[in-house]
Chain A
Amino acid sequence: MSDLYLSRVRSWFLRSPPAEWAINKTREVLIGALRQGPIPQHVAFVMDGNRRYARSHKIETIEGHHLGFEALARVLEVCYKCGVKVVTVYAFSIENFNRPKYEVDGLMQLAKLKLEQLMQHGELLDRYGASVRVLGQRDLISPDVLEVMDRAVSTTAHNTTAVLNICFPYTSREEITSAVRATVEEFSRTPRPHSTPFSQSRITQKILSQQGDNEEPTSPVRDPSPTPSWTRTRAEDPEGSVSSSTTLPPDSPPSKFGGEATKVTIFPNAENITAETIDSHMYTAGDPPLDMFVRTSGVERLSDFMLWQCHQETQIFFLKCFWPEFDLWHFLPVLVEWQWRQKQKERDEIKPRGRAKLA
């Protein structure tokens, strides 16, 4: 009982206007102070623990998600004020479709509602210069939600200072798969012909007619022009075949032009595929590398989030608190530790170099 009483007194005190003012000023100063050091450019959050928070506080699950959204707004504010460029949040996993239907629907409605509101306050994101992007498998979203999302994305697209990536319905394996698929697609497309006013077939025709005068029947066949098949088949082919039949000497096989040349397709070399190629097809293409990965609620797994992005030099933090509780006070130690490690790393990088110089 006394415990409850104490907590009530504490919350009464914290809510009193002077305390509120002091806390706000402190926050401002702390954020300003953090800006003095290195700041991660890209932070990812797994917003885990909404439901467990709701359960432990005996409120509805969806209520927990609402509180989680408030926490997200708080965290975004801290991040953007600190100078984080890109924030990526795991809002909804493809696996989450396994949850009870009313909860899935509730989450969908929540997302729709919040994005709608966000657009009513159009300038809110403008003030932070933030644009919204939705990453994930779009075809799993119901059309009404998708429409709102697209609107949110397009109305904020002009902001360039910061980015909010909402992963909705997302899994990292799906992302990697789609990136691989897109790369395969890119490399199995023939390069588009350069838009040039010169018709290749006209040139060949010229050469052929000239060579016809010189009586050199073999060389035109060796012409290695990388004409993509479809341009030929669409427009120039009849022209080409006509020209070949008229200008070619009768002893050269006419099928070389009509048959084989149309089938020759030149693909970009698959050996040129690198990690960067695949990277450019990820949903996060163009974003700075992920510096920090934060997961709340004490679960120590990546759970299919940002696998490709976070498996290299990303600092991963698993925190004990539930997501709705997450605030500057939880985030501050993480950020400071990150800055500290960053400094440590710099020192380590300088040291061996110095040693090498001595040797």
Chain B
Amino acid sequence: MPFKQKEVQAYRRDEMFGHQLLTPEERIKMLKPYLPPLPPKASQRAALEPKPRFGLRRFLKNQLHLLVFTIIHTIFSLYIKTRQAIHAISNRIYSVLHYHHHTPEYIERDVKGLGRLPKHLSVILTLEDDGRGGAALERLVNEVSDVAAWCASAGIPQLSIYEKSGILKGYLEETHRAVSQKLAAYFGPKPPALSMGAPHLRAIESAFASSRAGRAESGKDAKHLSVLLLSAEDGRDSLVDLTKTLAEMSQRSKLGPADVKMELIDAELSESVMGEPDLLLLFGPHIELAGYPPWQIRLTEIFHVQDNQGVGYQVFYRGLQKYAQAQMRMGR
């Protein structure tokens, strides 16, 4: 409850003088009207309960609250429906205005004006319908290749894609092929080299890059994109696995509990899973991390477009814009 202005002033004056003006008793007196009643002791409560008059009042109060609750939620769902509609339309307009036409040059031009780019971009994608049927998987692969193509065009060297179930890890080769095709569709004859991997799995390099001739030919301005596929098991589970290993080592007295330091965990996790991403894009309507690796997300800029549904270039572009504007202060 907001305090009366007079009391707030008295409190602040008192505070300014280092709480010398008011005695604790005075302060308590000031507070008293705002506090809820003391919780009655068990014996008192029993004595209070049977009185019916209180029950009626409470009933009426409850009804009032229920009414207000219903009103609030009715208004709110109206509000959110309109908000969603407005956002859907504006997002659509935005995406039409900023369409990339599958041309890297357009994306490059978009990105050129930005002060800085993330070196490591991370996205969270979701598999619809729990992956039943091939359509959802196909769609997911399509989304992966879209995002990868945008990253390659924008010049972001590292992309990590989080998808909770980890279904993509089982189709590493197929995904690699699909993304390569998409890159070829964007870049034409000389697509950027692509390596796709997942924690604890060997990365697949594109044939182009692995051949030495290709590398020499493309020279230094050749783009290289590495894509990392993540799933829920790279989050908590990897920390649990690390703890198991550390515990076993400690049992064999290869290390003491005191050796478990932040640097050690950080080094291990960035070695076996990934480092910290600079920017995390969510394509969902609100922010929910759905088991994203916790250790790595410490200082990551998180971006989502309110009420957005589906993977779209405008989210990607706006995320990059937001990232370019954000400043890091590191607690200072």
- Chain A, 1-37, contact with B by CB distance < 8 Å: what is the 0/1 string? 0000000000000010100100110011110111111
Alpha-carbon distance between A299 and B326 when the two chains are bound, in angstroms: 8
Contact across chains for A314 and B288 when beta carbons are under 8 A apart: yes
Given A95-B331, A188-B251, A301-B300, A312 contacting B237 (CB threshold 8 A):
no
Partner of B243, one of A74, A94, A180: A180
Contact across chains for B76 and A340 when beta carbons are under 8 A apart: yes
Interface size class on chain B is: 35 or more
Alpha-carbon distance between A77 and B258 when the two chains are bound, in angstroms: 41
Which residues of chain B are within 8 angstroms of A98 by Cβ–Cβ distance? 330-332
Does B28 lie at the interface of the complex (its beta carbon under 8 Å from any beta carbon of A)?
A: yes
Chain A count of residues within 8 A CB distance of the other chain: 82
Closest B residue to A32 using CB positions:
B65
Alpha-carbon distance between A302 and B242 when the two chains are bound, in angstroms: 23
Given A173-B298, A307-B298, A270 contacting B247 (CB threshold 8 A):
yes
Interface residues of A in 43-97 (CB under 8 A from B): 66, 74, 77, 81, 93-97
Closest B residue to A69 using CB positions:
B15
Partner of B261, one of A20, A177, A337: A177
Q: Count of A-B contacts with CB under 8 A?
A: 209
Does A99 lie at the interface of the complex (its beta carbon under 8 Å from any beta carbon of B)?
A: yes
Rounded to whole Å, the gap between the CB of A24 and the closest CB of chain B is 5
Partner of B298, one of A66, A96, A302: A302
Contact across chains for A33 and B69 when beta carbons are under 8 A apart: yes
Contact across chains for A29 and B289 when beta carbons are under 8 A apart: no
Does A187 lie at the interface of the complex (its beta carbon under 8 Å from any beta carbon of B)?
A: yes
Contact across chains for B242 and A339 when beta carbons are under 8 A apart: no
Q: Which 5 A-B pairs have the closest CB atoms?
A: A95-B331, A33-B68, A36-B69, A188-B250, A32-B65
A residues lining the B interface (CB < 8 Å) = 15, 17, 20, 23-24, 27-30, 32-37, 66, 74, 77, 81, 93-99, 113, 117, 120-121, 123-124, 126-129, 161, 172-174, 176-177, 180-185, 187-188, 267, 270-271, 273-275, 277-278, 299-304, 307-308, 310-318, 327, 333, 336-337, 339-341
10 contacts between A and B (CB under 8 A): A99-B332, A120-B28, A177-B260, A184-B243, A185-B257, A275-B236, A275-B237, A311-B236, A316-B286, A316-B302
Which residues of chain B are within 8 angstroms of A66 by Cβ–Cβ distance? 12, 15
Rounded to whole Å, the gap between the CB of A18 and the closest CB of chain B is 12
Which residues of chain B are within 8 angstroms of A188 by Cβ–Cβ distance? 247, 250-251, 257
Closest A residue to B76 using CB positions:
A336
Question: Is chain A's binding surface mostly helix, strand, loop or mixed?
Answer: helix
Given A303-B299, A316-B287, A274 contacting B73 (CB threshold 8 A):
no
Besides A176-B294, A184-B246, 6 other A-B contacts (C-beta < 8 A): A34-B72, A66-B12, A173-B298, A315-B288, A336-B72, A340-B76
Closest B residue to A94 using CB positions:
B331
Which residues of chain A are within 8 angstroms of B2 by Cβ–Cβ distance? 20, 23-24, 27, 74, 327
Partner of B65, one of A29, A182, A273: A29
Contact across chains for B298 and A123 when beta carbons are under 8 A apart: no
Interface residues of B in 263-314 (CB under 8 A from A): 265-266, 286-295, 297-303
- Chain B, 9-47, contact with A by CB distance < 8 Å: what is the 0/1 string? 000100100010000100110010011111100000000
